[in-house]
Chains A and B, each alone.
Chain A
Amino acid sequence: MSNQNRTMFGGRIDRGQVINFVFNGKNYKGFHGDTLASALLANDVHLVGRSFKYHRARGILTAGSEEPNAIVQLGLGARTEPNMRATEIELYEGLEAASQNCWPSVNYDVGSLNNILSSIFPAGFYYKTFKWPPSLWLFYEHFIRKAAGLGYSPTAKNPDRYEQKFYYCDLTIVGGGISGLLSALAAGRSGCSVLLIDENPELGGYLLDYNFSINEKDGLKWIKNIVDELYSMDNVRILKRTTAMGYYDYNYLTALEKVTNHCDQLSKTTPRERYWRVRSKKIVLAQGAFERPLVFADNDRPGIMMASAGKKYLSRYGVLPGKSVVLFTNNDHAYQTAFEFNDKGAKISVIDTRENIDIRIQNKCEDLGIKLYSSFSIISTKGNKKVNQIEVQKVDRKQNELSGECITLDVDCILMSGGWNPAVQLFSQSRGKLKYDKVLNTFVPDKLIQDQIIIGCNNGCFDLSKNLNHSYQEGLNAAKDLNYEVADNINWKGEEEISFTESSVEPYMLGKKKVTKGSKHFIDFQNDVTAADIFLAQREGYISVEHTKRYTTTGMGTDQGKTSNVNALALMSHIHEKPVDEIGHTTFRPPFSPQTFGAIAGRSVDHLFDPERRTSIHKWHEENNAVFEDVGQWKRPYYFPKKNENIHDAVKRECLAVRNSLGMLDASTLGKIDLRGPDTAKFLNMIYTNAWSKLEIGSCRYGLMCNEHGMIFDDGVTTRLGDDHYHMTTTTGGAARVMSWLEEFLQTEWLDMEVFCTSVTEQWTVLSISGPNSRKFLQELTDIDLSKENFPFMKFREGKVCGIDSRVFRISFTGELSFEVNVPSRYGRFVWEQFMHHGKKYNITPYGTETMHVLRAEKGFIIVGQDTDGSVTPMDMNMDWIVSKKKQDFLGKRSFTRSDTLRSDRKKFVGLLVNDKKTVLPEGSHIVEKALKQPPMKMLGHVTSSYYSPILGHPIALAMIKNGMNLLGEKVEIPLMNGKVIEATISDTVFYDKEGNKNNE
């Protein structure tokens, strides 16, 4: 295998496990423990992508989640994911990845023409160029969007499963570096329940890549011991490969766990990702810091990377990214990288912007033969697809300029270090305040707002011993605050080869004159924002940070400026000659890293998105060709078409079957509430508009419920089953609302009333049989005496139906002789099938909701929510008969005498008959006195229900019309959407069997 950049020994990879992968169609090999980035570097692949705007060749800049350049399209088909950071992708067998934003290939990219033409694409180019004429923007947009953008999203349905987990604990620690580990250890030893989150596959943080000792013992062994101890604690839970995404109020934290993303075989039983919603009493932020790039001419070529990233590739993965290397730095810490590279056989020189460098470092460089250019800067880089040459020049501090001879060096790798930025994203999301630290030249945490702790490098402290002691102490303090018995304190002493001491970083910023033409000084690598763009934005007046961000797009994109923000702010400060504090910073928002929609949706997809409710007869309906309708969450048969029947044929047949012989409806979805208790009658008197005190046992009564505004909000039949026992029915869609309404008044208003409400909707299957033959038919199957004398209308009886204990109600929603047979749900389908079998001789016809609607409209029965809309009173519906005049009080009564409800011109419920006897009016149509060519015209109301009535042979409609009851017989007009105007005559609301004899037969 090639792996030509792999060192002979070392690293934390498993050299025994070779892994095959494909990048841009070519086969490569890596080792278990590699990331895609480290394996590519090992195989000497440096060019991995093209930049967003100029299509410049880009390589690997970092070795972590902050990567702006090396973002790839990962996987194929339905599983493909765009914008994945190669620096985070763990290598697995068969991995396939490809470069983005290039065509036809990353090596020969047509789009790189943009780079040559770049002088015409400065910041704001699109705003300025495509603004005129405004009407053409949509045209331009199509092409601009096509040219922009990075990867592509999959078009097929996601085949993977995603889970969500709610979690509660005392302490959540974000970051598994030494600071996080020690806090977890202290809190864990004290007994706190701890959740430790880290985005890497291995705990230990950046120190895994450096030489250090703790209490004079080997650092790596020490980390292993701590991790082992944490894993042995039952009260500590550790999540690796988990990124904390959002930090919200009251220590609510979301985190994305990549469960099987790194596996070659996806398990059926394990989700791909798990989205954690964590609520903890305290949160410890220990996320560490990101290394800051340096801004110099053409600082974006492949082969240029962060010093710490170079160190990580070398120490952790055993990959030497270059053989002829320069380190460009403004601080001491990066020298560790230089020494390590030197040790592993690379030829290395150091360009340091500082004049005064620690004499020990100078001596060591001399001992090792490392050429040190003190007070020098890189002024240009060359190399089309990989850096191959640089020029350096002396920094003249007095003139704030570069001067002297240009020295040319041949290199194949530049390691840069501009200092460290604490990863304050989550802290800032939690509303924590930042301040600018003049020594570190970056923003560090200042004020804590929530019950949180911030430790280690994340807190802007880079002293190892201090961090060790502070972290452990804070873990103990947290335990103490939460009333745990605190473990013993320990004094820690840590030593690094070279520490990032506070005095060692120099602010480095290119001088104003040094933004030379023909080269680009990149601030934001992902969005191709250069120093010149920032200058331009300031010249054009976009001087607030938020404006500069939006004008130049610096800090946007999938990396959200993790590497670029501070440099952009520093440059603005430099331009305006103002302290960075006064420039301020933009707002950090979740998520910390890009995350999948799949994880956010979790299991709430497909049939679990909104639960489906089915009656016990549902299967039969399916087997018998029912077309279903959604009513709330219920699936209800809409109609039952026979061969070649359309909806009109089917509904006509079903309607006539009921009117002429026998029909059957599955009415199980009706809301059913069981009411018990000595005060139930009193309670019903308050809830319904009519009187309930005198209802006898075994009798049913229709009731109308109003809200306190006096508006109808539900209706149904309630039956007295026993002394203190009632059975209430509600509309299908209103069942839950009514249940809550009853509970609200019982629990908050009338606490002294003894009434218990139990939802029994799903306990009973309701078979509504209707039609002139229904009595004859049902009598054959029941021991209940159904005769007119013994079982009159609006009565209730119990007995056996088809051998099953049943409740039978003689109520009617069709106007025909009807019985509603309630059987325990488990017998629902059995009884339904018995009815179908025995009803054959009466041509028993199952019917759906559409037929139910037609039949009730023929009788003028209202449907709450269709004929009413929350703004109509019982009087508006001409239902004065159901409003008690005697009752002192009931819900809504007082509002009937409000001036608005008393208005004489309120809309009233009326019938409507079209004069042409054939047009079925669209429901919702506006009704006008006289249709004019254009508004305004006199509006009268609207159509609420409209059907063709098979039994009458013409259409019928119900409507709300202003002052309608005084307009009976008047002609109105209904202008339709298609321009036609339909004439209709206002009628009463009962179209069929006006005398109401049918249901009393």
Chain B
Amino acid sequence: MFVIKCPYCGERDQTEFSCHGEAHIARPDNPAEVSDEEWGEYLFFRNNPKGIHFERWTHDHGCRRWFNVMRDTVSDKIIRTYKMGDQKPGVQDV
């Protein structure tokens, strides 16, 4: 249970949101041209770091917008939230 800052609505309770796994995984531009390995990487493989993690979340019971979250998986602290398409923050931003 956290208060999460939706980039569109501001601070809201965690119960309004849901998490959809790792962020910044781009769909290959031309899937027909990628190898099975590359496609498998896109489909199945995800990072599970101890520490800083980038995730996609949605504000389901609110504006229904998707956005990205930078979260520390050790402390559960949400370090930053930012809009889709925004630059991925660097670790120096922590």
Residues of A at the B interface (CB closer than 8 Å) are: 166, 168, 248-250, 252, 277, 279, 708-709, 740, 743-744, 747-749, 751, 888-889, 893-895, 898-899
Contacts and interface: CB of A to CB of B under 8 A. Distances in A.
Contact of A743 (B27, B31, B66, B85): B66
A894 B31 contact: yes
B64 interface: yes
Given A249-B1, A249-B76, A749-B27, A898 B36 contact: yes
Contact of B1 (A252, A708, A749, A888): A252
Nearest to B67: A747
Given A166-B13, A168-B3, A252-B1, A898 B66 contact: no
26 contacts: A168-B3, A248-B1, A249-B2, A249-B76, A250-B2, A250-B76, A252-B1, A252-B2, A279-B3, A740-B58, A743-B66, A744-B20, A747-B65, A747-B84, A748-B56, A749-B26, A888-B30, A888-B32, A893-B32, A894-B31, A894-B34, A894-B39, A895-B39, A898-B36, A898-B40, A899-B36
A893 B66 CA distance: 25
A497 to B, nearest CB: 45
B43 interface: yes
Interface string B20-33: 10000011101110
Most buried by B among A168, A249, A747, A748: A748
Interface string B63-74: 011100000000
Interface of chain A, main secondary structure:
mixed
Contacts of B77: 250
Nearest to A749: B27
Contact of A748 (B2, B28, B36, B66): B66
A887 to B, nearest CB: 10
A168 B3 CA distance: 10
Given A279-B1, A279-B13, A893 B84 contact: no
Nearest to B1: A252
Most buried by B among A249, A252, A747: A747
A461 B58 CA distance: 47
Interface string B40-70: 1011000000000000101000001110000
Nearest to A894: B31
A874 to B, nearest CB: 17
Contacts of A249: 1-2, 76
B38 to A, nearest CB: 10
A264 B42 CA distance: 64
B30 A748 contact: no
A751 to B, nearest CB: 5
Nearest to B42: A708
Contacts of A279: 1, 3, 13
Contacts of A250: 1-3, 76-77
A253 B36 CA distance: 49
A332 B77 CA distance: 46
Contacts of B76: 249-250
Contacts of B64: 743
Contacts of B3: 168, 250, 279
Contacts of A888: 30, 32
A889 B32 contact: yes
Nearest to B77: A250
Nearest to B40: A898
B19 to A, nearest CB: 13
Nearest to B78: A250
Given A888-B32, A895-B39, 17 more contacts: A166-B13, A168-B3, A248-B1, A249-B2, A250-B1, A250-B3, A252-B1, A708-B27, A708-B42, A709-B43, A740-B58, A743-B64, A744-B20, A747-B65, A889-B31, A894-B39, A899-B36
B43 A708 contact: yes
Contacts of A709: 43
A168 B1 CA distance: 13
A750 to B, nearest CB: 9
A948 to B, nearest CB: 42
A249 B14 CA distance: 12
Given A743-B66, A748-B84, A893 B1 contact: no
The 5 closest A-B pairs by CB, nearest first: A894-B31, A747-B66, A252-B1, A748-B66, A749-B27
A894 B36 CA distance: 9
Most buried by B among A249, A893, A894: A894
Contacts of A751: 84-85
Contacts of A708: 27, 42-43
A889 B34 CA distance: 12
Contact of B32 (A168, A248, A894, A899): A894
A925 B12 CA distance: 48
A744 B30 contact: no
A499 to B, nearest CB: 40
Nearest to A740: B58
Contacts of A747: 65-66, 84
A280 to B, nearest CB: 10
Contacts of A889: 30-32
A165 to B, nearest CB: 12
A895 B42 CA distance: 11
Contacts of A248: 1
A708 B41 CA distance: 12
Contacts of B40: 898
Nearest to A747: B66
A744 B31 CA distance: 18
Contacts of B84: 747-748, 751
Contacts of B20: 744
Nearest to A897: B36
A249 B71 CA distance: 15
Contacts of B30: 888-889
Contacts of B85: 751
A683 to B, nearest CB: 14
Nearest to B13: A166
A252 B3 CA distance: 10
Nearest to A746: B66
Contacts of B1: 248-250, 252, 277, 279
A961 B28 CA distance: 34
B25 to A, nearest CB: 10
A252 B2 CA distance: 8
Nearest to B38: A894
Most buried by A among B2, B27, B36, B84: B27
Contacts of A894: 28, 31-32, 34, 39
A875 to B, nearest CB: 17
A708 B28 CA distance: 12
B22 to A, nearest CB: 12
Interface in B78-94: 84-85
Contacts of A895: 39, 43
Given A888-B32, A889-B30, A744 B43 contact: no
A747 B59 CA distance: 12
Nearest to A252: B1
A250 B4 CA distance: 11
B43 to A, nearest CB: 6
A55 to B, nearest CB: 43
A937 B7 CA distance: 58
B79 to A, nearest CB: 13
Contacts of B32: 888-889, 893-894
B30 to A, nearest CB: 7
B65 to A, nearest CB: 7
Nearest to B65: A747
B56 A898 contact: no
Contacts of A898: 36, 39-40
Contacts of A277: 1
Contacts of B65: 747
A898 B30 CA distance: 16
